[in-house]
Amino acid sequence: MTISASSPIGIFDSGIGGLTVVKAVQALLPSERIIYFGDTARVPYGSKSQVTIRRYAQDDTGILMKYQPKMIIVACNTVSALALDIVEQVGKGVPVLGVLAAGAELAVRHSRNSHIGIIGTQATTLSNAYSFAINAIDPDIEVFSTACPLLVPFAEEGFINHPAARMIAQEYLAELLARKIDTLVLGCTHYPILKEMIGDIAGPDIHIIDSAEAVAAKAGQTLAENGLLNDSEIPVSPHLLVSDLPQKFKTLCRLFLGNDIPDVELVEV
Amino acid sequence: MTISASSPIGIFDSGIGGLTVVKAVQALLPSERIIYFGDTARVPYGSKSQVTIRRYAQDDTGILMKYQPKMIIVACNTVSALALDIVEQVGKGVPVLGVLAAGAELAVRHSRNSHIGIIGTQATTLSNAYSFAINAIDPDIEVFSTACPLLVPFAEEGFINHPAARMIAQEYLAELLARKIDTLVLGCTHYPILKEMIGDIAGPDIHIIDSAEAVAAKAGQTLAENGLLNDSEIPVSPHLLVSDLPQKFKTLCRLFLGNDIPDVELVEV
């Protein structure tokens, strides 16, 4: 397999949430070709077991590998927390970046009082992967996590600023806010859609970390270090693959990517 | 394959919701052996495509067939709406009952003003399967449907009477109530968990149809007609199978079955 600067960047997620990462990569690196796979036939991952999540991650990576990517970005926090090693195995030497490590690093850089809050899926918070990643950089930081399972369906149904969504988010965040955190990581790729509402509830003194932007920055840096940045100046549309409901995905794309909606291809897992 | 009165009844659902059917069958036919399969590795079905739902229904039926059931009950409204023929094919002559037909019949019997409301998943309401089933019995009945995608996660997370769940349910039901329905079908196997709240919102003049009880009654009747009722007087615990997270399933069982919690076995799909 020959990897070159013109090879694509492969990105995958359990479903549609990872498009927040596609958007961030596109904004930062508009000349890069992106292959995106969303496993819409088996979404969500965050409420499932580690064994199942690892099996799904293996399949997802296999699909991207057919396109000979120069890098794989795991846009799913749950997979980043529980199955990054499987992605690396199947990726056979292709650099792999997970949203989790990127978000953790950025959170450490921003926190002043060393109290960081994490919101994510059940599987991500139970894994303690954010605590491990943050404390590996700075063991003195206190990390507080809360699972917010209902925020994914709210985001997927477009209840972006509904009073019921706000009420539930307030309950989820109450304990973290009581811990005097100064930094809050959106530890699920769906949450950036609810960023404004979450920011409102958290208040102006808490810095919100969006892992999508963090991982895009890290991708640019890694590609530059390896001499693999695409220097073509023609912006290209991402190539989108899903395992179910391409039409619905296309409609939802508007919410994530804005107006530029490419075709969506159906693949089997 | 030899089917006898002592053969089990096979029941399946996309996840945990079908336990409302297990409970209703147990209450009515306590001597029957029940094999239940919940596809917790691929839940939910109701937001996925017909092709995918049919593929999953085929797998689920195959798992139950290994136990040589004397009857298969499709506890999932989405599969009942979109894939009952696949279940019958894989079932090779074993009688198949779907919650949808049972609920539709009961609704027709109860409605006085011929205005029936249906709430269900996206896939179920888009299929119009309830309208077809109801109008096949009585073409003069007007059927009004609304998809309520957020009620499944509310039920699964145990938000049974939370003000946010109530607010969303009120929005979902507003249009149906404006149509002056006198009968409301809970067209998703998760909704009986929210029955009290939904009944409160609908008010005392609307009859709520719980398809779980309807299908249990029909199962008893069909078995009696075929001389296949189990006349042993020893009540038996159901045999529960899931494709993921057996421990979580066991915990959630309390919500559905009460205190009697049998072991849960993990199977691969």
Query: What pLDDT was estimated at residue B53?
Result: 97
Q: Which residue of B has its CA nearest to A247?
A: B49
Q: Which two tokens stand for residue B218?
A: 């029909």
Q: Which of B76, B100, B184, B206 is catalytic?
A: B76
Asked if B253 is an active-site residue, the reply is: no
Q: Return the ∠ at Cα B132 (arms to B58 and B194), rounded to 5°.
A: 75
**ipTM exceeds 0.85:** yes
Nearest to A48 among B164, B168, B245 (CB): B245
Yes or no, beta carbons of A149 and B153 under 8 Å apart:
yes
Which residues of chain B are within 8 Å of residue A245 when distances are taken between CB atoms? Answer: 48-49, 52
CA A156 vs. chain centroid, Å, equals 15
SS3 B184: strand
Question: With 70 as the cut, is the pLDDT of residue A225 above it?
Answer: yes
- Residue of A148, A216, A228, A146 lying closest to A181 (CA atoms): A146
Residue A170 burial (C-beta neighbours within 10 Å; 0-12, 13-18, 19+): middle
Report the gap between the CA of A268 and the closest CA in chain B (Å): 10
Query: What pLDDT was estimated at residue A261?
Result: 72
Nearest to A42 among B42, B149, B157 (CB): B42
> What residues have CB less than 8 Å from A22, skipping those under 6 apart?
A11, A34, A36, A75, A238, A256, A257
| Phi and psi torsions of B156, nearest 5° | -65, -30
Question: With 60 as the cut, is the pLDDT of residue A107 above it?
Answer: yes
Lowest mean pLDDT among A101-110, A150-159, B50-59, B123-132: A150-159
Q: Which two tokens stand for residue A233?
A: 């100046």
Q: Which of A76, A94, A99, A155 is catalytic?
A: A76
pTM: predicted TM-score of the whole model, two decimal places:
0.91
pLDDT confidence band for A234 (50 / 70 / 90) = confident
Q: Enumerate the β-bridge partners of residue B242.
A: B38, B266
Yes or no, beta carbons of A159 and B149 under 8 Å apart:
no
Q: Which residue of B has its CA nearest to A148?
A: B157
Strand pairing category for A115-120 and A96-98: unpaired
Query: What pLDDT was estimated at residue B252?
Result: 80
Query: What pLDDT was estimated at residue A249?
Result: 87
**Number of CB atoms found within 10 A of residue B265's CB:** 11
Which residues of chain B are within 8 Å of residue A150 when distances are taken between CB atoms? Answer: 153-154, 157, 159
Kindly report, residue by residue over A85-96, the tens digit of the pLDDT: 999 999 999 999
Asked if B76 is an active-site residue, the reply is: yes
Report the gap between the CA of B223 and the closest CA in chain A (Å): 35
Of residues A1 and A142, more confidence is placed in A142
pLDDT confidence band for A58 (50 / 70 / 90) = very high
Contact B8, B67 (CB under 8 A): yes
Report the gap between the CA of A74 and the closest CA in chain B (Å): 20
HEC readout, chain A: CCCCCCCCEEEEECCCCCHHHHHHHHHHCCCCCEEEEECCCCCCCCCCCHHHHHHHHHHHHHHHHCCCCCEEEECCHHHHHHCHHHHHHHHCCCCEEEHHHHHHHHHHHHCCCCEEEEEECHHHHHHCHHHHHHHHHCCCCEEEEEECCCHHHHHHCCCCCCHHHHHHHHHHHHHHHHCCCCEEEEECCCHHHHHHHHHHHHCCCCEEEEHHHHHHHHHHHHHHHCCCCCCCCCCCCCEEEECCCHHHHHHHHHHHHCCCCCCEEECCC
Q: Which two tokens stand for residue A116?
A: 């960081």
Report the gap between the CA of B264 and the closest CA in chain A (Å): 15
Report the gap between the CA of A117 and the closest CA in chain B (Å): 22
Yes or no, beta carbons of B167 and A167 under 8 Å apart:
yes
Place of tokens 């580690």: A50
Yes or no, beta carbons of A157 and B164 under 8 Å apart:
no
Query: What pLDDT was estimated at residue B219?
Result: 98
Nearest to A244 among B48, B162, B168 (CB): B48
Q: Which stretches in chain B have pLDDT values below 50?
A: none
Maximum CA pair distance of chain A?
A: 52
Question: With 80 as the cut, is the pLDDT of residue A173 above it?
Answer: yes
Provide the edge-to-edge strand list for the sheet that holds B115-120: B142-147, B115-120, B183-187, B207-210
Q: Give the separation between CA A152 and CA A18, rounded to whole angstroms.
A: 12
Which residues of chain A are within 8 Å of residue B51 when distances are taken between CB atoms? Answer: 244
Query: What pLDDT was estimated at residue B156?
Result: 82
Which residues of chain A are within 8 Å of residue B40 when distances are taken between CB atoms? Answer: 48
Question: With 60 as the cut, is the pLDDT of residue A268 above it?
Answer: yes
Nearest to A48 among B41, B49, B159 (CB): B41
Query: What pLDDT was estimated at residue A244?
Result: 96
Q: Enumerate the β-bridge partners of residue B10.
A: B35, B72
> What residues have CB less than 8 Å from B164, skipping those under 6 apart?
A164, A165, A167, A168
Query: What pLDDT was estimated at residue A256?
Result: 73
Kindly report, residue by residue over A69-89, the tens digit of the pLDDT: 999 999 999 999 999 999 999
Query: What pLDDT was estimated at residue A156?
Result: 82
